[in-house]
Chains A and B, each alone.
Chain A
Amino acid sequence: MTTAAHSVVEPSPRSKAIAGTLVILYAVISMIPLVWIGMTALKTPSDAIAYPPKIIFTPSMAGFCDLFTTQSRQTEDYIKTLPPPTDTCDEITRSRGLVTAGPSNFLPRFFNSFIIAFGSTFLAVALGTLAAYGFSRFKVPMADDLLFFILSTRMMPPIAVAIPIYLMYRELGLSDTHLGMILLYTAVNVSLAVWLMKGFIDEIPREYEEAAMIDGYTRLQAFRKVVLPQAATGIAATAIFCLIFAWNEYAFAVLLTSGSAQTAPPFIPIIIGEGGQDWPAVAAGTTLFLIPIVVFTVLLRKHLLRGITFGAVRK
């Protein structure tokens, strides 16, 4: 288009500039809390609670050291009797009159989050995709009612059923287990997965499977070779939504996990340091907690852009 000024499809330079400014403004406002958390993670505990807040400060690894270790207060005389510090964290800790007592629970909790979030996402997406395929392709008796029932499981906040679930889990021995949390998050996510995937699979024309079945494949093989590759976009999008929920979930995690299966969300905010909440450690934990989901989203962003099936079947 050479006549951009009069084009209907191409926005004018002025509206582009306005739109750009708005987007940048929104991005900056959204980023402020993240930047604040990142900054707090790099402050010393005393800088973190200074008032007025310190914008310029000397960065410190104290928050990260506190996050990964437990410490105990010792007298200066005792600290002098110790062998020289073995790493930077030791050095920082000792300069505050503390000694490293051992590793903290952060890594195991983080690992729990990882297993539970990815495990439940995998299950929810796998079950959701198969169920959606069934609803999309076969005459399921009372399909609309069943789909509504599946959706209805999301109509109240999950925490409303917290007490029955708590009692049930106690009886079944699922409290504070990885399996229990995976099943719980799968149950919550599977309804979302069914509905999202049904939309995506409905858009894949049946002709592909029919062609594949005539070409010498069973329905299951056709599903794997023809439907799944084309549903990749939908699967990626669904997985991201499920993962974000399972990764961030707080209420059930507080209620049902306390020890061996505790996830990072209930753990991070209760990191107590010398004389109260250890804000740099909390901020450091939050920063690290954000990374996997950002990486996952970035890795799958190619699939989030629609269009790989565009134009192959004429409607």
Chain B
Amino acid sequence: MLTIGLTHYLIVAAVLFCTGLFTMITKRNAIGILIGVELVLNSANVNLVAFDRYLGSERMDGQIVALFAIVLAAAEAALAVGICINVYKNLATIDVDSASQLQG
């Protein structure tokens, strides 16, 4: 247990993932869902970097992919906030359950 290996990190990432998922399911606030998404993305990044650290041959590709993921997450957050604002403008609320016009 004292030697920290790949599995340790992966488990932390799994926890992050599941909490993110839980956040997405239970939060009715759109921003809350966004926060859950960020957690999930982070868990993926942790996975990438951990694999890179322990299994990668050159130990860089994983980091760079994670870097791109961060950049894209930032972009995604910006867009998502924009969408939230629009939803708020149109529906006067940010409750995602009320934004269900597309239901079957």
Q: Is B one of A's binding partners?
A: no
Give me the interface of B with A, judged by CB distance under 8 Å.
Answer: none
Give me the interface of A with B, judged by CB distance under 8 Å.
Answer: none
